[in-house]
Structure formats: C-alpha cells, structure tokens
C-alpha cells in the first residue's frame, strides 16, 4: 500500500509544476513557461448535445484502459451527463456520481466536486453553491458541502469566473474547511462551469499532496468543465422548450408531438397503450380562497407525486390549467385502471394542504383494431372526464369504447 502510494505521488510530482510560486495562484489558461514537461493533450472533438448522445447508438461506458484519449473521455462525460439528466431523480443522482468519478479519472484527482449555482431571491435568500455530485469525499462531508458566494475558493470562483489553483490548501486563508471535515485536501483546482458569460457552477478537483497539480492538469480540468457546462446548458434549453414552466412536466405542445409517436409504436409492435387524464376539481375555488400562489403550489405537489409514482417508461404531462396526462405504454385496460386507483390514493394520502380539491381520472386504452389516432383517443378521454366530473369528487371513469359499424 505504501509503495503504491509513493509511486503515485512520485508520478504526480514528475508532472507537477516545480517552479517557485506563492502558496496560492490563479493561473492563466494560455501556455506558460512553467507548464509540465509533457505532451499537451490533443484538442478534443466537439462534444455533441446530451440529447444527441442519447439518440445515437449507445457509447460503451465501461472504463477502457486501452484508449485514454481526452477526446474519448469528454465524449464519455457528455454521455454520462445526458443519461443522468434524462433519468428519474434517484437514477440521475447516481449518474452524476459517475460523472464526478470520470472527471477524477481524467485529471487523476483524489476528490472531485460538482457544485451547481442555486440562484437566490434578493437579499432574503442569497445565491449558494450546492453539491450536485462528488467523488472521493468522506460520507460525513457529502451532506454538508454548500457554499455562499463569499465563502471559500468555490465561492470566489463563482463570484469572479476565474480559475483558481491552490498549492497549499491548509495554509491558504481563503480555503474554507468544512466543520467536522474528514477528507484531507492538500492542493486543489477550482474551475467555473461557464457558458458564455453565464456561471452555472464550479468544478473542483483536489489531491492530498501539497503542490499536486500542474498547469497541464489545470487545462485538462478546464476543458472538462467547459464540456459539462455546455451539456448542462443544452439540457436546460431543451427542458425550457418541452417543459411546463410551473410544474416541470412535459408541456402540452410536447405531449401533442409525443402521443402520435406512441400511438404508432403501439400499432407497429401490437402493444397496448393506455392514457390517464387527471383533473384537479375545485382548483379555481382554491385560487380564489387562498390566492394563485396556493393553487400553483398545489399543482406542483400533484406533479411531483405523479412523477415519482410512475415507471421510467411512462410520461407525465400538463395538459391544461388543472389537467394532467399520464401515458402508459404497454399497459392494458385493467392495469391502467389499477394504476389510476393507485395514483388517486397517492394524491389523497397524505392530503395536499389546503385539502379543498378532489380528483377525477379518466382512463382510456388505444383501440388499435379501429385504427384510432391520437386525437380520437384524446376526444374519448375528454368526454369521459366530463362524465366523471358530474359524479362527484375522487372518481375514476373509463372512456367509452367505440364500436365498429357493421355494414
């Protein structure tokens, strides 16, 4: 163990910047005379948008010791970021941990943290850097990593947009050691996650050794940070284009594009597609009694509960003011009705405060044998919902089944 650690340290020191320098430096990104005596990394190929990486044939994500090129590593990071963002919450967290682990591999770091900038709300709620992913940190430290913009090296980088390399972290007055910190940090590099003039967060890498990073290491981390920032920004633009701004669900426009595709898939592969149309009864009265803020909070909670309760293959969308839709691929009518009952229970227990609304859920299954299209399916759902709203609150109603006319 000791010999391996000594070899690793010796290799890092061979690559490190050995010129005399202050204990803390902010190093320019352009080549300088103090760069380590090693070949510069090849310029990376342009990383594709995260959604493009997911649409293309899957990239092998297992570590490939035979090909350690920087370009391949950047592409791998792009694929990991896209996969993490596109997945449900718990899977996404695990995916971002893989991103941090890959960054640590690329720059040979002991620890890596990815901090997202959480915007504030004036003077009452200041902006903060919140931990999104980490690698190598002690478990005790993971839950408490959070910085204000006036705190520590990460806060300085987020505030100024400048890269900072710290040669001797314990002696640097700007280094903010967390209360009860267990992870040993000797040196670190902190790089802004920036797209244009916009700061999205901070990427940091650390080693236990003092003066552990070279200029080449810093430049590699900067390239990695630029890739991650671009992927995160493209993901945000994509979400803004297809997501409902209030609930974060798929918007009506995106749903009307997705539903015909799901109908065609169900026809082609002879599977069953079911759809739930959920209406929050009494939302207008809730808005009048408690204000629109209460109504908005109610809808966000409904959306969050539905999103957590469905399968990864299902799709939840906001269809109208108080209407939400759940697409259930490969789901027959009886299973769709069982799902509707389960979702209704989740929406009612525990009650969403203020508990003045009820729910009506219409259930329909695509009639492929009648060549039913997406608009006809939605029309049947709409008629069923109107019937259900006349039956009182918290009801589930099946859409009418169309019959083929006999000739």
| pLDDT single digits (tens) 120-141 | 776 677 889 988 888 988 776 6
- Give 384's contacts (C-beta < 8 A, 6+ positions apart): 277, 362, 363, 364, 397, 398, 399, 400
Q: Which residues are registered as beta bridge partners of 148?
A: 128
Percent of the chain past pLDDT 70, that is, above it, reads 77
What is the distance, to the nearest Å, from the Cα of residue 311 to the centroid of all Cα atoms in its chain? 17
Q: How confident is the model at residue 12 (pLDDT cuts 50, 70, 90)?
A: low
The average pLDDT across 7-13 equals 52
- Any idea which residue has 């004036």 for tokens? 122
* Residues 211/189, Cβ–Cβ less than 8 Å: no
| CA 371 vs CA 165, 267, 374: distances in Å | 64, 8, 10
pLDDT at 359 over 60: yes
pLDDT at 93 over 60: yes
CA distance 218 to 205: 9
pLDDT at 340 over 70: yes
pLDDT at 275 over 90: yes
Q: What is the pLDDT of residue 82?
A: 75
* Residues 99/227, Cβ–Cβ less than 8 Å: no
* Residues 166/153, Cβ–Cβ less than 8 Å: yes
Q: What is the pLDDT of residue 10?
A: 54
CA distance 92 to 105: 20
Percent of the chain past pLDDT 90, that is, above it, reads 44
Burial grade of 89 (CB within 10 A; 0-12, 13-18, 19 or more): exposed
pLDDT at 115 over 70: yes
| 350 preceded by a cis bond (ω within 30 of 0) | yes
Strands (E), 171-273: 187-195, 198-207
Q: What is the pLDDT of residue 216?
A: 92
CA-based angle 204:209:211, to the nearest 5? Answer: 75
pLDDT at 226 over 50: yes
Domains in the chain, ordered, with CATH? Answer: 8-242 (3.30.450.40), 252-398 (3.30.70.270)
pLDDT at 344 over 70: yes
DSSP string for residues in 11-59: HHHHHS--S---SEE---SS--TTS-SSPPPPPPPPPPPHHHHHHSSPP
Least confident of 39-43, 220-224, 225-229, 276-280: 39-43
**Alpha-carbon radius of gyration of the chain:** 26
59-63, 238-242, 277-281, 287-291: range with highest mean pLDDT: 277-281
- Any idea which residue has 């026809």 for tokens? 267
Q: Indicate the average pLDDT of the chain.
A: 80
> What is the per-residue pLDDT across 168-201, written as a single tens digit (0 to 9) for each?
999 999 888 776 678 889 999 999 999 988 999 9
> What is the per-residue pLDDT across 368-404, written as a single tens digit (0 to 9) for each?
888 899 999 999 999 999 999 888 889 999 998 876 5
pLDDT at 309 over 70: yes
The average pLDDT across 143-153 equals 81
Q: How confident is the model at residue 5 (pLDDT cuts 50, 70, 90)?
A: low
CA distance 74 to 381: 46
DSSP string for residues in 51-118: HHHHHSSPPP-S--TT---HHHHHHHHHHHHHHHHHS-HHHHHHHHHHHHHHHHHHHT-SEEEEEEEE
- Give 325's contacts (C-beta < 8 A, 6+ positions apart): 255, 275, 276, 277, 278, 316, 317, 318, 319
- Compute the 3-state secondary structure of the chain and give helix, strand, coil in percent, each to the nearest 5: 45, 20, 35
């Amino acid at each position: 163990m000791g010999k391996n650690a000594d070899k690793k340290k010796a290799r890092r020191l061979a690559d490190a910047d050995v010129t005399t320098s202050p204990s803390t430096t902010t190093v320019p990104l352009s080549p300088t005379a103090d760069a380590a005596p090693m070949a510069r990394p090849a310029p990376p190929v342009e990383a594709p948008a995260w959604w493009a990486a997911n649409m293309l044939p899957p990239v092998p994500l297992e570590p490939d010791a035979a090909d350690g090129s920087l370009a391949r590593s950047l592409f791998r990071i792009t694929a990991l970021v896209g996969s993490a963002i596109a997945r449900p919450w718990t899977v996404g967290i695990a995916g971002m941990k893989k991103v941090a682990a890959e960054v640590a591999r690329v720059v040979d770091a002991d620890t890596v943290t990815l901090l997202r900038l959480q915007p504030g709300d004036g003077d009452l709620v200041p902006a903060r850097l919140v931990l999104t992913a980490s690698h190598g940190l002690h478990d005790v430290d993971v839950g408490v990593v959070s910085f204000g913009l006036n705190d520590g090296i990460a806060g300085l980088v987020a505030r100024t947009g400048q890269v900072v390399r710290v040669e001797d972290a314990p002696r640097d007055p700007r280094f903010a050691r967390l209360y009860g910190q267990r992870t040993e940090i000797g040196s670190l590099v902190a790089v802004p996650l920036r797209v244009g003039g916009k700061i999205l967060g901070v990427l940091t890498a650390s080693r236990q050794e003092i003066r552990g990073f070279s200029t080449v290491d810093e430049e590699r981390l900067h390239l990695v940070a630029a890739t991650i920032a671009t992927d995160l920004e493209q993901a945000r633009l994509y979400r803004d284009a297809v997501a409902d701004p209030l609930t974060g669900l798929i918007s009506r426009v995106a749903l009307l594009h997705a539903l015909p595709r799901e109908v065609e898939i169900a026809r082609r592969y002879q599977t069953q597609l079911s759809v739930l149309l959920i209406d929050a009864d009494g939302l207008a009265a809730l808005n009048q009694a408690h204000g629109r803020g209460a109504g908005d909070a109610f809808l966000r909670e409904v959306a969050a509960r539905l999103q957590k309760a469905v399968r990864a293959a299902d799709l939840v969308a906001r269809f109208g003011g108080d209407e939400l839709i759940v697409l259930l691929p490969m789901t027959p009518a009886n299973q769709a009705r069982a799902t509707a009952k389960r979702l209704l229970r989740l929406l009612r227990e525990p009650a969403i405060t203020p508990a003045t609304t009820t729910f009506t859920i219409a259930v329909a299954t695509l009639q492929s044998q009648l060549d039913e299209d997406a608009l006809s399916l939605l029309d049947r759902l709409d008629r069923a919902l109107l019937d259900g709203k006349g039956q009182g609150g918290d009801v589930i109603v099946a859409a009418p089944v169309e019959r083929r006319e006999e000739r």
